[in-house]
Amino acid sequence: MGLLAFLVMALAAWLTWTGRLQRMSAKDGMALGVALVGAVMAAKGKPLVGAPMLIGATLFFFAKGQPARAKRKPAGPAAEPSPQDIVHARQLLGVGPDADSKAIRAAHRRLIASVHPDRGGTQALAAQINAARDLLISEANRRD
């Protein structure tokens, strides 16, 4: 039983360390639960029932591939941002039309600290904030 407790703690530490625990789906959670029940049954003397549950659920849990990442656009001339995009980026970061790159970076730093995915924010919001920073900095560099 001590080995089982060690394995469960090691799995929990691994899931937390890799960040997979935060983005675990319901199917992943059910597979993990079935694997734990199978491990307990195998440890309690019912390996014919527990081992297939443990092996099957573990294979399901780890065999799933990571979701495909979006392909990056090839490098080339970027499309001109519309005035609405620039206004939206300024509103998102809370800077005025005369903000220089130093002020834009400072506003970005303050905002991203509170909405970063490591602090409970979402990746989508962090990506929007980063895109707004990049757009406004490139716009400020064009003005200068």
Question: How far is residue 111's CA from residue 139's CA, in Å, rounded to a whole number?
Answer: 20
Model's pTM, two decimal places?
A: 0.46
Q: Residue 134: what pLDDT?
A: 92
What is the helix (H) or strand (E) element at residue 32, kind and residue range? Answer: helix 26-43
What does the pLDDT look like over 66-101, one tens digit per residue? 454 445 555 555 567 788 888 888 898 899 888 888
Q: Assess if residue 33 is contained within a domain.
A: yes
Q: Assess if residue 75 is contained within a domain.
A: no
What does the pLDDT look like over 96-125, one tens digit per residue? 888 888 999 999 999 888 887 787 778 888
Identify whether residues 58 and 111 lie together within a single domain: no
Name the CA dihedral angle for 38, 41, 45, 48, rounded to a multiple of 10 degrees: -40
CATH code of the domain covering residue 123: 1.10.287.110
Identify whether residues 56 and 87 lie together within a single domain: no
Per the structure, the complete domain to which residue 119 belongs is given by 83-143
pLDDT at 11 over 80: no
Separation in Å, CA 116 to CA 32, 56, 59: 28, 36, 32
Higher-confidence residue: 94 or 53?
A: 94
Q: Residue 102: what pLDDT?
A: 92
Q: Assess if residue 8 is contained within a domain.
A: yes
Q: Average pLDDT, stretch 25-41?
A: 75
What does the pLDDT look like over 126-139, one tens digit per residue? 888 899 999 999 88
Q: Residue 38: what pLDDT?
A: 78
Identify whether residues 56 and 9 lie together within a single domain: yes
Question: How far is residue 74's CA from residue 72's CA, in Å, rounded to a whole number?
Answer: 6
Q: Average pLDDT, stretch 41-61?
A: 77
Please answer whether residues 76 and 68 qualify as being in contact, where contact means their C-beta atoms are separated by less than 8 angstroms: no
Q: Assess if residue 74 is contained within a domain.
A: no
